[in-house]
Structure 1
Amino acid sequence: MTDRCKSWIVGAILLAATSATAPDARAQTQTDSAAASATYSGYRQTPTLEGPDGVVTQLDEGDVRTQPVLSFPKVEAFFQPFFDWKARINKDYGLKLQFSYQVLYQGTNEDVPYTSSTAGRAQIQGAWTLVDRGGKNPGLLTFRLENRYTIDSEIPPSQFGFQFGSLTPTGGGFSDFGFAWTELAWRQTLMDGKFKFIVGKISATSWYNGYALSSPMTGFQNTGLQSSLTKPAPGRGIGGGIGYQFNPNFVMVAGVHDANAKTADNPFDTIHLKEFYYSTEFRWYTTTPDRSKWDQVRVQFWYQDPLEEKGTPAGYGMTFAASHLFQDRYMPFILGGISNGEASTFQRDLIAGLGIGFDTVHRTASDVLGVAVGWGDPYAPQLREQYTAEAFYRFQLVQRVAITPSVQYVKNPSANPNRDDAWLWGLRARVTF
């Protein structure tokens, strides 16, 4: 890896922005003008049922202007023509694009073979509206091309915690598979927005049991704190799903996914096995739909076919998640699940935590502190219960660049009965264009 690549220590917290719906043309023009001034390329918020790691979510949130610690007006003026070009291709062709790069460093003082690990993750992603652009029933082609790789490290952060026996990856989202198409899918809205479906190569995990801090790029890094691990976690592969809005506050999401999928592999290599992961999730948005990212209650029911080649028996279970944003600043959350355990990491788990937005001298709630604690009970009797904790502080250093230091603690690592606990720290950075 070149020194130039190693120097990309960059990142971004991009908070969600919602667009108002205007009753007449004049109000709509005012809304568009306000949205343009609050964004880089004028992207308006597109309703989505996916979590914070989804393509559509990241495109819109990544376009929101944020107030950084440091401001360089001349640098911003230099890059503005690029964002003007993005605005033009969206206006003329319905194509939204985003380029991002994120890097994660993790280190520890524990007695393990490798005391540090660093990996990069470069992405190009987009959404191309080819049907009913500007209407109530748009059809979008979404895509994401990634390159994940280690930087001067023998193992990636996704494997770092396994060294001391943790069952949960401490560096989720930062593996080492090189280049891969991790999404290529068609998303269609029908019935004036009440019914949606998606089909293609998609994630089987980011749709269910998520909350605002689930993304490994902007939220918690430990996979065991991002969602319940009582449900299976196949890689990105061929799948499909539907979402139906019974009323503004009650939604159902259901999907079928290739249970053998591996994110970096050809999705057609395993679909012929006809072994699937099935899921149905019910969501109650406790306040208004535009606050559904924060104010929500979810209950998921799932079943996975037996995986014959892997020797994994059939599994089933349920998960739940709940969160609420108080005073636009404090977001407590709780999630967990229960299953027969044979198809997932834990048979029971429970996670609770708090996200806090902080005012700074010239900014309002631009920084975010996240703290969470999790407990997991593995299915195998020889594995003990594991406790996991993480704290991170995410701050906007300059426009489109965020820095996130963090610390993790693992008590009773399940796969290592000879170790009582382990500490590690991390530094994550992200830049978006």
Structure 2
Amino acid sequence: MTSFTRIQDMVCARVAARPGWTFAVALALTSVVFSPQTAIAEEATPSAVAASAGGNLSGHPLNGPESADSLLTDSGEEKQDLLDRNVLQEWEAWKAAVTEKTGLSFGADYTIVGFGANTSLGDRTAVSGIARIYGSWALFNRGAANTGSIEFKGENRHSFTDTPPQLLGLAAGYVGVTQPVFSDQRFRTTTLYWKQRFLEDRAVARLGLVDVKEYFDVFALGSPWSGFQNLVFSTGANTIAILPDGAFGGMAGGYLTDHIYSAVGIADASADPTSAFQSFETFFSDFDTFKTFEIGLTGGGKLLFVDNAHISFWHMDDIARTGAPGGWGVIGSASKLIDGKWLAFLRGGWAHEGGGLYEASVSTGFGYMPTPAGNLLGVGVNWGRPNRHTLKAALDDQWTGEVFYRVQVSENFQVTPSVQLLGDPALNPDKDLIALFGLRSRVTF
């Protein structure tokens, strides 16, 4: 019997014995979905509503804004910051000179997230940080259309508290993920692949250690580094347990017409980003894969991910190495930019098995950016039905609300206070509402 199966049976037993709504139930559930070998779904999406988000995507079909290339483009754009100050101007000028001479672009950032809950079955506070270094090295057709480049991103995810932000919602009795990436995973390889643009930059292909979230179900406000933090507002809407990164695989996609795009991909579902190069072996030996197909309608160009409606399908094999169950599902998403400042969205997902925490989920809300590449307000609400196949029990539906306001303090520094309201927490039925207060800060280099 695998460790996954043993933990699942333990969770089932505790849930069935209704008096046992204890912190142990939450801890058991976290072991299922956050084992070191399981890459929990996390989102790579734009950090702004209009100009700063869309500007990263012009001429780069399906190039998610948390990819190395998009992060570098965003860091090079002038921000509407409160202090109107860039203390790293000389450093950025030197980096630009290196890029001009060699084709190598690189950057780094450090982000810290802290949460405090008003009530919990276990810990009530959590603090974690992530240091990232990323780059793009143009080696073919540099400065022209149809560029070929190597892209890379490495991270160190570390927690300052016993319970990291990734697990605080479960510790409080909420079936969900209040912050999908801020964990205690330590060093990891997120991406290392060859990216080839073709058809005069209307299409793109990737091959190597890929991150599925760079091209699958991208949503303009879902970045855990700069947008919504709860997974219900991110890739898969909390209906998918595993969204591989640091995983050997490939994808191809682009514009079929000026306003219709499509993408298909496959990646190693058993990949472990902390030992990413093993994925080359497990992909071919086990061939337990995560497969995606997406087709969408968009305004095109800079509006690719803000005037957007898409439907996405996924299928995952049973994962022999971890015991994670296979499954499949569908995701629908629609977002519309209004007056260049408001972004309204409606998103939903449904899954058949697959190990996700929700089997059905619907989110709606809006983002508001008063000035391009400046402060950002986000408001969202979600309804979710816990996955009976994962939990081996029919738990009550949950409601989730999140409000954040991102402040661009200086050219290279952001601060984002937030509040998450976790309604009818399924593992803590004595509470009607849990409030989670958060503070996130990010500095770029």
Length-normalised TM-score, structure 1: 0.84
SS of residue matched to 1:340: strand
Residue number in structure 1 paired with 2:184: 176
Which AA in structure 2 matches 1:204?
V
Contact 2:61 2:253 in 1 (8 A): no
1:216 has 2:229 as partner: no
**How much does 1:324 deviate?**
0.9
Residue number in structure 1 paired with 2:113: 104
Residue number in structure 2 paired with 1:249: 259
1:189 has 2:197 as partner: yes
1:409 has 2:426 as partner: no
1:121 has 2:154 as partner: no
CA–CA separation in structure 1 for the residues paired with 2:356 and 2:142 = 40
CA–CA separation in structure 2 for the residues paired with 1:125 and 1:342 = 31
1:134 has 2:143 as partner: yes
Residue number in structure 1 paired with 2:349: 337
Report the more deviating stretch, 378-387 or 399-408.
378-387
1:71 has 2:84 as partner: yes
Which AA in structure 2 matches 1:275?
D
Residue number in structure 1 paired with 2:95: 86
**How much does 1:238 deviate?**
1.4
Contact 1:158 1:172 in 2 (8 A): yes
CA–CA separation in structure 2 for the residues paired with 1:16 and 1:122 = 26
CA–CA separation in structure 2 for the residues paired with 1:217 and 1:165 = 24
Q: How does 1:276-355 map to 2 (within 5 A)?
A: 276-285=289-298, 287-355=299-367
Residue number in structure 2 paired with 1:145: 154
**How much does 1:267 deviate?**
4.2
Q: 1:111 to 1:251 in 2, by over 3 A?
A: closer
**How much does 1:356 deviate?**
0.7
Q: 1:139 to 1:390 in 2, by over 3 A?
A: same
Which AA in structure 1 matches 2:250?
G
Contact 1:16 1:60 in 2 (8 A): no
- The C-alpha deviation readout for 1:119-142, integer Å capped at 9, x for no partner, is 111111011100111221111100
SS of residue matched to 1:219: coil
Contact 1:156 1:174 in 2 (8 A): yes
Residue number in structure 1 paired with 2:70: 57
Which AA in structure 1 matches 2:291?
Y
SS of residue matched to 1:242: strand
Residue number in structure 1 paired with 2:168: 160
Report the more deviating stretch, 409-418 or 163-172.
409-418
Contact 2:361 2:383 in 1 (8 A): yes
Contact 1:100 1:122 in 2 (8 A): yes
CA–CA separation in structure 2 for the residues paired with 1:138 and 1:221 = 33
- The C-alpha deviation readout for 1:272-308, integer Å capped at 9, x for no partner, is 32111111000211x3422112101111112111223
Residue number in structure 1 paired with 2:273: 263
**How much does 1:258 deviate?**
1.2
CA–CA separation in structure 2 for the residues paired with 1:386 and 1:308 = 31
CA–CA separation in structure 2 for the residues paired with 1:179 and 1:306 = 26
**How much does 1:116 deviate?**
1.1
1:47 has 2:47 as partner: no
**How much does 1:206 deviate?**
3.8
**Equivalences, count:** 391
Q: 1:180 to 1:19 in 2, by over 3 A?
A: closer
Query: Which one of 346, 370, 382 corresponds to residue 358 of structure 1?
Result: 370
Contact 2:49 2:369 in 1 (8 A): no
SS of residue matched to 2:273: coil
Residue number in structure 2 paired with 1:95: 104
Higher helix content, 1 or 2: 2
Residue number in structure 2 paired with 1:39: none
Higher RCO (Cα < 8 Å, 6 or more apart): 2
Length-normalised TM-score, structure 2: 0.82
**How much does 1:54 deviate?**
2.1
1:394 has 2:417 as partner: no
Contact 1:234 1:260 in 2 (8 A): no
Contact 2:78 2:411 in 1 (8 A): yes
Which AA in structure 2 matches 1:119?
S
Which stretches in structure 1 are left out of the alignment for 5+ residues?
1-11, 21-34, 36-42
CA–CA separation in structure 1 for the residues paired with 2:51 and 2:278 = 37
CA–CA separation in structure 2 for the residues paired with 1:44 and 1:191 = 16
Identity fraction in percent: 29
**How much does 1:185 deviate?**
0.8
Which AA in structure 1 matches 2:71?
Q
**How much does 1:70 deviate?**
1.7
**How much does 1:313 deviate?**
4.1
CA–CA separation in structure 1 for the residues paired with 2:57 and 2:253 = 21
**How much does 1:410 deviate?**
0.8
CA–CA separation in structure 2 for the residues paired with 1:103 and 1:396 = 15
SS of residue matched to 1:344: coil
Residue number in structure 1 paired with 2:5: none
Contact 2:209 2:276 in 1 (8 A): no
Q: How does 1:373-388 map to 2 (within 5 A)?
A: 373-380=381-388, 381-388=393-400
